[in-house]
Amino acid sequence: MAAILTILRPLAWINTMLLRIGRNIAWVAMGLMVLIIVLQVFFRYVLNNALPWPDEAARFLMLWMTGLIAPSAYRWGGFVSIDLLKDMLPARLGQLVSLCLLVIGLMVLVVGLQLGLKHVNSGWLFASSTLKLPLEFLGLGLVRLKLAWMYMSLPVGIGLMILVNIELILKAFAALIDPDREMPGDQDHAVISAE
């Protein structure tokens, strides 16, 4: 049990910090996405002159927002789950079922990470049709943004979910050994839950 807690404590702290940063970036991305969409609505319906870039910029921000907020939802149990079978079983057996599902989930996430990295690699071949970086001050002119920067949200989000999954596996394994033991947790979730 001491070995599990030795690994779990720093991992829980690292996850708390990374997910806090991810949530803050996700909120900024969501705010920018709303502003960009409102700007597009104004230009399209008030000025009757739609801009070419807001739709793709909003999609870019939405993908990153999702990739950065999903690991927090996973850690906090915010995804849809069916707990009926687990709740009907005796406590330890239910915990064992949860542990098995977390291990299966880890395998799925690892495959997803591999596929996401392949997708990012293909994204370096293609540039956005409308998103351009104004780099005239560097003598580069307008540089079209590579789609890989958009696709990178997938492996980043899945990588963070893998870290969360490992933390949840360690907690489930520790709960099998000592169900009454207090586990290191997410201080951010405790604060949000209390509010």
Structural domain boundaries in the chain: 2-186
pLDDT, tens only, 156-194: 999 999 999 999 999 998 888 877 777 777 666 655 555
C-alpha distances in Å from residue 106, one per residue of 8, 9, 47, 69, 162 = 16, 20, 50, 18, 6
Q: Report how far residue 63's alpha carbon sits from residue 117's, in angstroms, rounded to the nearest whole number.
A: 15
Q: Rounded to an integer, what distance in angstroms lies between the CA atom of residue 125 and that of residue 127?
A: 7
Predicted confidence (pLDDT) per residue in 72-131, tens digit: 999 998 887 777 777 888 888 888 988 999 999 999 999 999 999 999 998 888 888 888
